[in-house]
Each structure stands twice: as C-alpha cells, then as structure tokens.
Amino acid sequence: MSDGRRLQVLRAIVQDYVATSEPVGSKALLDRHQLGVSAATVRNDMAALEEEGLICAPHTSAGRIPTDAGYRLFVDQLSEVKPLSAPERAAIAEFLAGSVDLDDIVDRTVRLLASLTHQVAVMQYPSLTRSSVRHIELVPIGGPRLMVVLIVTTGRVEQRVVDVGRDLGDADGERLAFDLRGRLNALAAGRPFTEVARALAGLSEGFAVADREAVEAVTTALAELVVEEREERVVIAGTSNLARRSGDFPTSLRPVLEALEEHVVLLSLIDAMHDDPARPAMDASDLVSVRIGSELSHAGLVSTSVVSTGYGAGPDLVAGLGVLGPTRMDYPTTMAAVRAVAAYVSRSLGG
C-alpha cells in the first residue's frame, strides 16, 4: 500500500466520521469518495491503517473510526488551513468592530468563537506580564488626590487614586501634574512592564525639593501597578454545545465539565502553545496548536481536543484563545475560525 493512498483513505474516514458520527466501512468510502481502487484494495488499506493504530473498530461494528493517532496524522498532513469565506470574515470583522472596551472584546470573542465552531470557546485576558505601557495619564480629582491612569498596549486600563500630600488645584499644582505626566510618558511609554519600575527609579531627583514627595507618591503607585501579581483571567462560552455532542463522550460529560470549572486547567489549555520558547517568530495568527485526546495532560479531557493560538501585535503574544470539543471535530474549519478570530482580536488591540 502506498503512503499516499493510505493517507487518502484515512482522510476519507476522518471526514466521513466527523460528518456522520457513524463508523465508516469500505463500501461507504467507495460510494462517497473517488478513490479509484477496488473494494478489496480499500479493505486491505483499512486493515493496514488499523494495524498501525490509526483507526479502530468500535464494539462489533463492521465500520472503523479514527483513533487519536489517526486524527493527529490527519491534522499534521493538512497542507494548509483553508481560509474562511469572505462573508464569514466580514461577519467576524463587523461583530468585533462594535466592541467598546477590552471586556467587551473578550466577551464578544468567546461568544463568536463558540457560535462559529459549535464548541466551547476559551479566551485568556491579556497578561500584564507580557504587556507594555501605551500611555500614563494624571487626573487631579480635588485637593491632594490624583488619579493615576495606566493604559496598556493590550487595551487594559489600570488606575489608582494617590494622595500626593499637597493641593494640586493651584497653578503650581497644575504645572507639576503637567510636567510629571510628560516625563513619565517619556520614560515609560513603549516599555514592557518588566522594565518600567527600573526606568522610573530616581525620577523625583529631577524635580524641585518641594515637589519630590508628590512625584515619589505617583511613581510608587505606578511601580506597584506594573509589578503587582494578578491572577490570570479566562472567560468561556458555549458550554451547552457539549450537551449537544454528548454521544461523542464514551462515559459522561461530567469529567469534562469538572475540568472546565478549574481555572488552572483552563489556563494550561491555552498557555502551552504561546508560552513555548521554541515558537518561531511569526504573527500570532499564523500558528495554531492542536492537542488531541491523550495529548492533553488532564485525565478528564482525554475524550476532547483543543485548538488554540495566541493573540497580540505581531510576534508579541499577550495571551491565548481557542476552543475545546470532542475529538470528533472538524479540524480544518475549527483551525481556520480560531486563526481568523485571533487575527481580528490582534488588530483590535493593536489599533
């Protein structure tokens, strides 16, 4: 049996099983696909694929279904991820274009992914540890109180009210706020969070003695904002889609649902790919990770697959998103949807 024909038969079995959820027999393959060989040849090919562990017979069925290894070979042999249609791309762009802030982008993204793929969508909020400063704003709010607003390249906005120890309502106070805002942005804008605290160290020494207490109060607040540890956040949508595919889970949905309730598990599902130091330098939307069944480390997810990617501006990924569903998944379409949505999210945040 040639490798080319073996892959053709495997591809046909995967496609038919994904479409029908029924084990696939040799007669069905000949009826549905132009294989150009006899029934006996197809049966021999299927026997060889079964011997290699790429397909198996469920129970006493005469048909065959793909194994995790079969799905893996099928995905690895995809020459390219088919692009979404023009109407699909336009719908994604229009839906995400209506977002008003980061929370809205995340909410719209998971709902859109769940709708496009009919799977569970998972999205991680942009990580502050992978973020850079876009702008710092200082807003006097009465008396000695100043609101320090930190705007991040990922769209996140952090703020803190600081008592600077002096009234900022007079001309000197306004001058100080204006001058400090300019110097802060000159030092911090465009820098990753890991460098900001160091860049601001000693800034107060460049101000008049009377102003130094106020400057130190602001720089201390900013340093706390950029180094403060935060729990990573993830959002999911489309869990009900699993119920519609309950027949694809051999025992019950309970282990999958329990795994989805664990915050750490959700993060690990989408973190593995974009945290890989060996990841080649390319746009976030150009690399899609697929982990199938037993490749997932969590025991409750052995009957599922995860398709994920990172998002961000160019090679600077700030977080991940993806979908989880049964291993009987339309991988090419799902990969295309995840890649396209990540690209649009990256553009939204980069704007």
Q: Where are the domains of the chain?
A: 3-66, 86-127+232-350, 130-227
Query: Is the CATH code 1.10.10.10 the one for domain 3-66?
Result: yes
Mean pLDDT by 10 residues, the chain (351 residues): 80 93 89 84 90 88 89 87 81 82 87 94 80 88 90 79 89 91 91 82 89 92 70 84 84 84 80 48 61 87 91 73 94 93 84 54
pLDDT of residue 201: 85
Q: Which residues of 289-321 are buried (b: 16+ CB within 10 A; e: fewer)?
A: bbbbbeebebebbbbbbbbbbbbbbeebbbbbb
pLDDT of residue 276: 45
Q: Hey, how many other C-beta atoms are within 10 angstroms of the C-beta on 41?
A: 16
CB-based contact 321:96 (threshold 8 Å): no
The residue written with tokens 């599902």 in the block is 269
pLDDT of residue 281: 39
pLDDT of residue 350: 65
Euclidean distance between CA atoms 185 and 200, whole angstroms: 10
Tell me, yes or no, if the two domains 3-66 and 130-227 fold the same way: no
Euclidean distance between CA atoms 39 and 277, whole angstroms: 48
Chain centre to alpha carbon of residue 279: 15
Q: Which fold has domain 130-227?
A: Enolase-like; domain 1 (3.30.390)
CB-based contact 131:350 (threshold 8 Å): no
Euclidean distance between CA atoms 224 and 296, whole angstroms: 36
Q: Which CATH number is 86-127+232-350's, of 3.30.450.40, 3.40.50.1820, 3.10.440.10, 1.10.3720.10?
A: 3.30.450.40
Euclidean distance between CA atoms 84 and 137, whole angstroms: 40
User: Backbone phi, then psi, for 270, in 5-degree steps?
Assistant: -105, -10
CB-based contact 121:114 (threshold 8 Å): yes
Apex 144 CA angle, 143 and 149, nearest 5? 110
User: Backbone phi, then psi, for 217, in 5-degree steps?
Assistant: -65, -40
Euclidean distance between CA atoms 236 and 125, whole angstroms: 11
Euclidean distance between CA atoms 147 and 76, whole angstroms: 52
pLDDT of residue 216: 92
User: Backbone phi, then psi, for 316, in 5-degree steps?
Assistant: -85, 85
Side-chain-side CA neighbours of residue 279 (13 Å): 21
User: Backbone phi, then psi, for 194, in 5-degree steps?
Assistant: -65, -15
Chain centre to alpha carbon of residue 37: 43
Enumerate residues 6+ apart whose C-beta is below 8 A from 138.
146, 147, 148, 149, 177, 180, 181, 184, 218
